[in-house]
């Protein structure tokens, strides 16, 4: 085992998906405020990251990296997954409902936002798969996943945005799909927390009980701090795994009295990571901030203020996932 003389690291990753990520679970009419709000959230998040010198990993669904329908349709991969649950089969029915371009359809196209992220030259752009691919749902196959990943790579190359990291939709992955990622040239992924309530599962196997425990874990320390040692990040697949430490739940008016607990749950774990030279990895979706945007940004500012303090005391720096791989690899090559 390597004894890596590295200080603690603060990692942020965002799952950028617009409506492609929630189409099977959210009605567009009732959720449009969040989706359109995500478009407002991205520039405000970038400004906040700039202010606090944060370097984030932003994983985008390939389908939103277009500005017109013609190019999008031409890029659809083959073979396609044929999920048992028809809600997950977006080809071709859902594609027939989208608008012609980003000006007409703000829910499905996000190339202008991708370019805004790219222009900062500060953040890592990663893949969230091409079509928000669910690897653990029945009907997913290695062949269709590889085709999806190759379509994402091709589109990224066209935009001069080759990626090294993957964030799996719904955090669904297993050794078969990780092996394909390695074969396709990726360096790493965001794994789940090391606890049964976070273990990757299909929707069919998910339970209300497990979701309830995860919810409580956002406010009370049920499952631990989930800070990770640098020495443990090399995965048997050959990829690096920068596991999640905490999902940043959005503000809830009903739970406003518990906001201090939610913040303390996060900052306590950050402090633990900083003191012990570990990695703390927090993530969310821009559309989580789409509603109550200013309140969510203020909450995030409190987290970044704490990171700033820990950086001054312990050298607790902000790193992208890709930067973490590079730091480890530098020591592996010695």
Say what the pLDDT of residue 333 is: 72
Q: What is the pTM of this model?
A: 0.96
Closest CA to 95 of 110, 74, 79, 112: 74
Pair of tokens at residue 163: 């990626």
| Contact (CB, 8 A) for 110 and 64 | yes
Say what the pLDDT of residue 334 is: 67
Query: Which three-class secondary structure state does DSSP give residue 101?
Result: strand
Say what the pLDDT of residue 3 is: 62
Q: Say how far apart CA 322 and CA 301 lie, in whole Å.
A: 24
Q: Domain map of the chain by residue range?
A: 12-332
CATH class, 12-332 region = alpha beta
| Contact (CB, 8 A) for 288 and 247 | no
DSSP string computed for 26-38: S-HHHHHHHHHHH
What pairing do the DSSP bridges indicate for beta strands 240-241 and 246-247?
A: unpaired
Say what the pLDDT of residue 329 is: 87
- Alpha carbon of residue 150 to chain centroid: 19
Closest CA to 279 of 52, 1, 12: 12
What pairing do the DSSP bridges indicate for beta strands 57-60 and 9-16?
A: parallel
Query: Which three-class secondary structure state does DSSP give residue 327?
Result: helix
Q: Say how far apart CA 113 and CA 100 lie, in whole Å.
A: 17
pLDDT by residue, tens only, the chain of 334 residues: 456 668 999 999 999 999 999 999 999 999 999 999 999 999 999 999 999 999 999 999 999 999 999 999 999 999 999 999 988 987 777 888 999 999 999 999 999 999 999 999 999 999 999 999 999 999 999 999 999 999 999 999 999 999 999 999 999 999 999 999 999 999 999 999 999 999 999 988 999 999 999 999 999 999 999 999 999 999 999 999 999 999 999 999 999 999 999 999 999 999 999 999 999 999 999 999 999 999 999 999 999 999 999 999 999 999 999 999 999 988 777 6
| Contact (CB, 8 A) for 328 and 234 | yes
| Contact (CB, 8 A) for 94 and 23 | yes
């Amino acid at each position: 085992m390597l004894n890596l003389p590295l200080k603690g690291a603060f990692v942020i990753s965002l799952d950028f998906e617009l409506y492609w990520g929630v189409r099977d679970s959210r009605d567009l009419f009732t959720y449009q405020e969040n989706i359109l709000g995500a478009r407002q959230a991205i520039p405000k998040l970038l400004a906040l990251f700039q202010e606090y010198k944060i370097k984030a990993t932003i994983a985008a669904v390939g389908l939103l990296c277009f500005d017109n329908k013609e190019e999008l349709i031409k890029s659809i991969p083959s073979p396609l997954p044929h999920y048992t649950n028809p809600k997950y089969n977006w080809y071709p029915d859902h594609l027939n409902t989208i608008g012609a371009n980003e000006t007409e359809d703000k829910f499905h196209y996000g190339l202008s936002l991708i370019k805004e992220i790219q222009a900062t030259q500060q953040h890592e752009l990663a893949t969230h798969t091409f079509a928000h691919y669910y690897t653990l749902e029945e009907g997913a196959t290695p062949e269709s996943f590889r085709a999806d990943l190759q379509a994402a790579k091709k589109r990224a190359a066209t935009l001069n945005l080759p990626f090294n990291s993957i964030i799996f939709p719904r955090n669904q992955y297993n050794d078969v799909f990780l092996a394909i990622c390695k074969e396709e040239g990726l360096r790493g992924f965001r794994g789940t927390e090391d606890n049964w309530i976070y273990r990757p599962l299909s929707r069919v196997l998910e339970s209300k009980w497990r979701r309830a425990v995860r919810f409580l874990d956002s406010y009370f320390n049920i499952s631990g701090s989930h800070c990770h040692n640098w020495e443990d990040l090399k995965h048997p697949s050959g990829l690096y795994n920068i596991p999640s430490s905490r999902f940043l739940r959005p503000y809830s008016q009903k739970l406003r009295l518990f906001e201090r607990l939610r913040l303390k749950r996060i900052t306590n774990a950050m402090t633990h990571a900083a003191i012990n030279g570990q990695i703390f990895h927090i993530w969310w979706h821009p559309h989580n901030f789409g509603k109550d945007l200013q309140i969510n940004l203020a909450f995030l500012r409190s987290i970044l203020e704490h990171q700033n303090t820990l950086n001054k005391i312990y050298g607790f720096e902000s790193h992208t996932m890709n930067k973490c791989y590079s730091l480890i690899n530098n020591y592996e090559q010695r």
